[in-house]
Each structure stands twice: as C-alpha cells, then as structure tokens.
C-alpha cells in the first residue's frame, strides 16, 4: 500500500444490537428446557443466538441466569422471553446478562411503555442500577456498560393479536422500544377469530410481512418465530432480521425417534414407539 494512501478498516458488528441494526440476519435457537448445558449445546453447534423461554418453556429466573452464563461460555448472544406482564423479571434478566428481552402480549402503547421502563435506564426508562453479573459476562467495567446499556440492551414487543396489529404504529413510536417480535401461531388464531391455528398460512404471512415493513419504516428491528427453514427464508425477504428456528424439545423428540427408527431398521424389531 502506498505511503500516502489511507488505510481503512471495516469492523464487523460484534454485539447483537449492532448486528440487527446493521441489517444482518441472526438466527436464534429456542430453549424451553431448563438445563444450562442444553443452551450451551445450541451455542456450540453454531447458533449465533439462543432465546430462553420463560413464558411457555420450563425456564425460570435461576435457570435463565445459569443459561446466560452457559451461552457466554459457548459464544452465543443471550435472549430471553419473559412471562406475560412480568416486567420485573425483564429488569432482573437484564442484570443477569440478557442482551435482548422479548415481552409477549404487548397490545398497546401503554404496555410497550411499561416494558421499556423496565429494560432501559433513565432518562429513557426506570431500570434500577445493579448490572454486576452482566458486566462479568460481557467482560466490561460497570462504567463501560453504563455508557451503552440503553443502546445495546434490546427491548422487543411481541405482536400476536389483532389489538397489537391495530396499535402497531403507536407501539413502534414508543421511545426506547427497539422493535417487535411476531408470534405467528397466536397471530393466526387472532386473525381467524380462533377458528384455526395456521402460523404458515397465506393470510398470516401477509400480515407478518406488513408488520416487518411497518417496523422497518419506523427504524425498528423486526423478529419472528419461524416454523420451518422455508419460513426463515421468507422472513428475511420480508425484512425480518431476528429469526427463531429450532426448538430444543422438538429437536430432542425428532432425534430420539430417528435413533429408534435406526435400531428398528437394523434389528427388524418393528416400528419405534409413537404417541
């Protein structure tokens, strides 16, 4: 390189927030089993992020806290879905190491504002100061964490009801809310007035696409739970950037059945037991 030629360095985003804001798609595994080593196995298998589910999964505060440590050890980003209307847990999990909190059943601007207050420090929110575990996992000083915590700790509101879709623009306008996360199963139930569960249906996909477009127009991140690899591809094309694909309970069930089928085929002992 010539002496008078400027050298430029391109730095890849390192944090989950930076990756998603830069437009980089991120696939998250979904952990329902309250065993830290399962979360770590997700990370070591190559998942860039792992979500610990405290709403419908078996995780609680302790297992999620231990799971974050296992994810840090395995090198994956740390996400948690909190129980419905449990913003206190959102604050505690942020202290324990969550890089992103997902809140279910956010149906109004008021719901979104309350969630943001729990996740963000003043002046954006009302989170209390005690991030002693998260700074350990991040290998930061408390001062360094403070400087970027509001920017780097993501708050995503789940959109999964007709009410939340109708209120979407108001929800997206909440200061400090970083984006939305779509639950297509509940959304399909809402769109059909409870007549069918159709997360991969055409109408569900259409509305999901509209949600992603509206989030992008508002300068916010859009995430979604994907049932099938084809839906991940579709979601990326629609503008989603955080895609959940791969649930530990389903993986174990499928793997166990596959192994039993191998034994059945080798031994001729008959079909594997099924439900």
Active-site residues, by number, are 56
101 pairs with which residues across the strands?
80, 155
């Amino acid at each position: 390189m010539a002496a008078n030629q400027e050298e430029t360095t391109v730095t890849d985003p390192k944090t989950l927030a930076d990756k998603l804001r830069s437009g980089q798609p991120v696939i998250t595994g979904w952990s329902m089993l309250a065993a830290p080593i399962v979360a770590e196995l997700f990370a070591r298998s190559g998942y860039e992020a792992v979500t610990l589910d405290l709403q419908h999964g078996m995780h609680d505060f302790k297992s999620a806290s231990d799971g974050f440590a296992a994810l840090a050890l395995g090198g994956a980003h740390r996400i948690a879905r909190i129980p419905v209307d449990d913003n206190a847990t959102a604050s505690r999990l942020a202290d324990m190491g969550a890089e992103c909190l997902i809140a279910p059943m956010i149906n109004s601007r008021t719901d979104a504002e309350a969630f943001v207050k729990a996740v963000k420090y003043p002046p954006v929110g009302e989170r209390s100061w005690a991030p002693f575990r998260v700074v350990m996992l991040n290998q930061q000083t408390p001062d360094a964490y403070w400087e970027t915590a509001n920017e780097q700790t993501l708050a995503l509101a789940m959109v999964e009801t007709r009410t939340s879709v109708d209120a979407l623009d108001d929800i997206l306008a909440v200061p400090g809310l970083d984006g939305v996360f779509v639950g297509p199963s509940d959304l399909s139930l809402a769109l059909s007035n409870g007549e069918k569960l159709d997360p991969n249906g055409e109408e569900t996909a259409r509305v999901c696409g509209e949600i992603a477009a509206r989030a992008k127009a508002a300068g916010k991140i859009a995430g979604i739970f994907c049932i099938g690899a084809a839906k991940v591809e579709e979601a990326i094309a629609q503008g989603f950037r955080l895609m959940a694909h791969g649930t530990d309970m389903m993986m174990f069930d499928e793997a166990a059945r596959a192994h039993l089928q191998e034994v059945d085929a080798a031994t001729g002992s008959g079909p594997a037991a099924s439900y």
